[in-house]
Amino acid sequence: MDVRDILIESVRDALADLGVEPPPSTVQMERPANPEYGDWSTNVALASAKAAGRNPRELGMALADALNAAPPPHVTAVEVAGPGFVNFRLSDSWLHDVLIDVVAAGTDSWARHDVGAGETVMVEFVSANPTGPLHAGHGRGACFGDSVARLYERCGHEVTREFYINDRGTQMQLYSGSLAARAAGTDVPEGGYRGRYIEDWAAEMPTDADPFEWGYQRALASQRAVLEALDIHFDSWFSERSMIASGAIDVTMADLRDADAVYEADGAVWLRSSDHGDDKDRVLVKSDGEFTYLMPDVAYHRDKFSRADRLVNVWGADHHGYVARMHAAMRALGHEASELEVAITQMVSLQRGGEEVRLSKRTGEMVELAEVVDEVGADAVRFTYLLFSVDSQQTFDLDLVASQVNENPVFYVQYAHARIHSIVRRAAEAGLVREPLDRVDLSHLCHDRELAVLRALHELPDTVLRACRERAPHLVTTWVRDLASSFHGFYHDCRVLGDDVDEGMTQARLWFVEAARVGLVVALDLLGVGAPDEMWRDDVPAGETEA
RNA sequence: GCCCUCGUAGCUCAGUCGGAUAGAGCGACCGCCUCCUAAGCGGUAGGCCACAGGUUCGAUUCCUGUCGAGGGCGCCA
């Protein structure tokens, strides 16, 4: 049982014994930033004083007295501080229990949850038009979406990753028209695509190929390749065109009519989206008989709901205005808005040498995601995209990330893992075998550096849960940087192996190092970043030290 | 005009489901390798948490307003 739950239980029991009415609905138990305030702290006396009609400080004292009279496991002292915080001091043994939990669970189970059991989630992300390569701006949504999917999986959901392909419509026409024009040496059509890749691909295109189909496959192949390079794999690629053939669009329209959610005006068919929270009604079928982009999109989301309990969409900030209308459409079809969650990623601005690079497929100025991956590597790309909250705009300076390889935070974290592996390897070379955990005396682990690592490990399960709930993978990035920092501190100050290290200490630390490894591996996997066993700088060959 | 996100150290950003002394990296300065990889560790300097009100025992965190940055508000996709 987690120490936090133990403490919360004991607080509840003590409050009941003290006759506190009404009992608090929740008891907050957190680890204070300042060590002066103990290892764990609760504000329950402050929070429930008013309802109980008692003075917070006095209530806190009574609570502390009761708890001190019969201390819960690990607790050495309970004190009251400030306006009525009740602070617990624990022996290091609570952290040794954390180590035991971590290594018992291992990389498969530590920080795994079952809150999502029985719920299927479909994460739809990237969904770029098949009219060109993915650019660096798509990278953020790609890495974010995949990591969110990993978080849902870790929390027990059954997850499908889906890529929606807009394989019909105006943009496709312009794209294939541009390819054909380039191939023929004529001017690209008005509003067409002018990127360099158009020239390259037009040159590649066989003369007898259909520019539409060939161009479609070419773009798709390009996008798929770079996603694979980033270790992002979709379970399904959903074609917009397929919904024409399957009649899904017609069925959707019929459903909307049955729900009295559409009407005709000015020769067009309108969705009554303003009945469901949108600013205004939206056109589904134009007066010329063509669909707007919205109609197939609604049909698509309707289809997704037939395949999953919960939908998560990852959209760029330039699409946030469509959230309300899509929610409205889904409500009209009988779904709750809460079943469709739209995560908005703010824009990525790219710089090269401090100069802004504009991203636009139409003007042709772009930086391909594939170039970025080539320059800095997949791990650095993923880690960099997941460094910050997607609620903030991000500036990605290609030169900086490429040139600062040695200062990149991803290497800092991966290096911690490499150091662990190094210790394990040396131990094996020395013929050292870890004894069964129950025969190892963990009380050796009392160094501040060791305790800091164990405290961090205790937080991972909560961090994962919160990162999933808030769809915020950067919380995991922040956590793993913190763990790496604690571990490097340990590595610097504490030795695992050596003639001058007590045997019992070596045994305890071998298990300790295993626990740290579990934390690193779990977190890096959630980010989709590798955990290498060795890392050698280019200028320092393996086995040598720097001059 | 309306909607969304953001405004925290020189720079890039964490922290914000209300808590007790606001953190990291980079940059600057000063230290640490006879020792499991120095892609490492430690220290110094650097903040009216944009601004003004409000709620609260308590606000960087919640609410309102102002200012600033970016993105949206089509019978375009």
Q: How many CA atoms within 13 Å lie on the side-chain side of A389?
A: 4
Residue A393: CB less than 7 A from any atom in strand B: yes
> What span, in angstroms and rounded, lies between the C-alpha atoms of A240 and A490?
54
Which A residues 265-324 have CB within 7 Å of strand B? 265-268, 279, 282-283, 286-288, 290, 292-293, 317-322
Question: Would you place residue A545 in the very low, low, confident or very high pLDDT band (cuts 50, 70, 90)?
Answer: very low
Annotated domain spans of chain A = 3-91, 407-527
A355-357/A394-397 β-pairing: unpaired
Q: What is the pLDDT of residues A75-125, one digit of tens each?
A: 999 999 988 899 999 999 999 999 999 999 999 999 999 999 999 999 999
Q: In the prediction, which pLDDT does A405 show?
A: 66
Does residue A428 approach strand B to less than 7 Å at its CB? no
CB–CB of A139/A231 below 8 Å? no
Across all strands, nucleotide nearest A494 (CA–C1'): B36
Average pLDDT, integer, range A184-193: 88
Q: Give dist(CA A403, CA A516) in Å, integer.
A: 30
Looking at residue A484, what is its pLDDT?
A: 97
Task: Give me the interface pTM, i.e. the ipTM.
Answer: 0.96
| Homologous superfamily of the A3-91 domain (CATH) | Arginyl tRNA synthetase N-terminal domain (3.30.1360.70)
Distance A461 CA to B18 C1' (A): 23
Closest residue by Cα to the C1' atom of nucleotide B14? A478
pLDDT tens digits for range A264-295: 999 999 999 999 989 899 999 999 999 999 99
Superfamily of domain A407-527: Isoleucyl-tRNA Synthetase; Domain 1 (1.10.730.10)
pLDDT at A251 over 90: yes
Point out the residue nearest to B25 (C-alpha to C1').
A409
- Which nucleotide comes closest to A534 if you measure CA to C1'? B37
Per-residue pLDDT tens over the stretch A147-180: 999 999 999 999 999 999 999 988 999 999 999 9
Say whether the CB atom of A403 is under 7 angstroms from strand B: no
Q: Determine contact, residues A132/A219, Cβ cutoff 8 Å.
A: yes
Mean pLDDT confidence for A16-42: 88
Which residue's alpha carbon is at the shortest distance from the C1' of B19?
A: A43
CA A502 – CA A444 distance, rounded (Å): 10
Domains A3-91 and A407-527 equal at CATH topology level:
no
In chain B, which nucleotides are within 7 Å of a protein Cβ? Answer: 2-7, 12-15, 17, 19-21, 23-27, 33, 35-42, 57, 70-77
Any idea which nucleotide's C1' is nearest the CA of A321? B72
